[in-house]
């Protein structure tokens, strides 16, 4: 079964504490060892110097033979958002053609709201680009209400939340029921039968596979994918079809 990992990084630094590899050969070896076909990946250098770090990620992806898809780290304090190239943000994104944008709002210390992240959200809306939102999501009392408002303002944007699940059903279930543009990776959905319950109640459309490589070991997420009591169709949706649908909706050429 094909697997696309939506949560990978490469390099080293504050936003990524690699235990296994820092370069393309290391990443490809780990993907091969774990049967992962493709990965949506960011470069940790983009934390220090967004434009050069993102440019480096584009180069790494170009050398990966299609195995890696670029996820560009965006910084709302920069007029370019940290996207390499020339011209407007939209022009730069059309040239770079990333698979997703990634925010580190907690590390960069800004609220994830349309007021503070509007430039990111508007660019994603115009191009229908998935926005991968990195944890932590604390405090819950502010982040998730803000997410509800952002999703209502930008219904065209797919938002992907990583590594949230364990003991969070009271938050996840209302979101899955009412916000159709929010997606979760399954990596920490460790509550008893949580993936099974989600697919029974809401379907598998909004679940994705993510590992957190290289900081985290992918075997946990792979175990949840393979051993949950879901149908093969649901398993394949989570493994690759849902992400392929999101990536297929990006509008670079319109």
Structural domain for 180, as ranges:
4-248
* C-alpha of 121 from chain center: 15
Query: Can you give the CATH number for the domain in which 102 is found?
Result: 3.20.20.140
Closest CA to 96 of 64, 119, 145, 129: 129
215: which 2 tokens? Answer: 């900081």
Closest CA to 74 of 57, 59, 60: 57
Q: Does the residue 29 lie in any domain?
A: yes
Q: Does the residue 253 lie in any domain?
A: no
- Tell me the C-alpha distance between 218 and 30, whole Å: 9
Q: Does the residue 206 lie in any domain?
A: yes
- Contact criterion met (CB below 8 Å) for 100 and 83: no
Bond into 250 cis (ω within 30): no
How many separate domains does the chain show?
1
Q: Does the residue 157 lie in any domain?
A: yes
Q: Does the residue 189 lie in any domain?
A: yes
Q: Does the residue 244 lie in any domain?
A: yes
- Contact criterion met (CB below 8 Å) for 131 and 120: yes
- Contact criterion met (CB below 8 Å) for 62 and 30: no
Q: Does the residue 254 lie in any domain?
A: no
Phi and psi at 38, nearest 5°, equal: -140, 160
Question: For residue 17, what pLDDT is reported?
Answer: 76
**Side-chain half-sphere CA neighbours of 180 within 13 A:** 2
Residue bearing tokens 């944007």: 157
From first to last of its 254 residues, the chain has per-residue pLDDT tens of: 999 999 999 998 777 777 778 899 999 999 999 999 999 999 999 988 999 999 999 999 999 999 999 999 999 999 999 999 999 999 999 999 999 999 999 989 999 999 999 999 999 999 999 999 999 888 878 999 999 999 999 999 999 999 988 778 899 999 999 999 999 999 988 877 899 999 999 999 999 999 999 988 899 999 999 999 999 999 999 999 999 999 999 999 86
> What strands, in cross-sheet order, belong to the sheet with 100-103?
4-10, 38-43, 68-73, 100-103, 131-133, 159-161, 182-185, 207-208
Q: Does the residue 91 lie in any domain?
A: yes
Count CB neighbours of 145 within 10 A.
11
């Amino acid at each position: 079964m094909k697997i696309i990992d939506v949560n990978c990084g490469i390099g080293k630094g504050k936003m990524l504490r690699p235990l296994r590899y820092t370069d393309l050969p290391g990443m490809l070896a780990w993907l091969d060892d774990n049967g992962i076909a493709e990965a949506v990946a960011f470069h940790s250098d983009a934390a220090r110097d967004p434009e050069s770090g993102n440019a480096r990620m584009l180069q790494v992806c170009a050398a990966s033979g299609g195995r890696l898809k670029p996820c560009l780290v965006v910084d709302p304090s920069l007029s370019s958002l940290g996207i390499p190239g020339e011209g407007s943000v939209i022009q730069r994104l059309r040239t770079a053609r990333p698979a997703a944008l990634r925010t580190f709002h907690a590390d960069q210390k800004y609220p994830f709201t349309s007021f503070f992240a509007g430039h990111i959200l508007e660019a994603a809306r115009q191009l229908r680009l998935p926005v991968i939102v990195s944890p932590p999501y604390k405090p819950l009392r502010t982040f998730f209400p803000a997410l509800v408002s952002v999703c209502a303002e930008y219904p065209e944007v797919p938002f992907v939340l990583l590594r949230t699940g364990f003991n969070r059903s009271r938050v996840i279930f209302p979101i899955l029921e009412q916000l159709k543009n929010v997606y979760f990776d399954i990596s920490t959905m460790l509550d008893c039968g949580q993936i099974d319950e989600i697919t029974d109640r809401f379907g598998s459309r909004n679940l994705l596979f993510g590992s957190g490589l290289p900081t985290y070991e992918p075997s946990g997420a792979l175990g949840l994918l393979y051993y949950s009591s879901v149908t093969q169709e649901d398993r394949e949706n989570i493994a690759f079809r849902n992400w392929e649908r999101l990536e297929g909706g990006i509008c670079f050429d319109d």
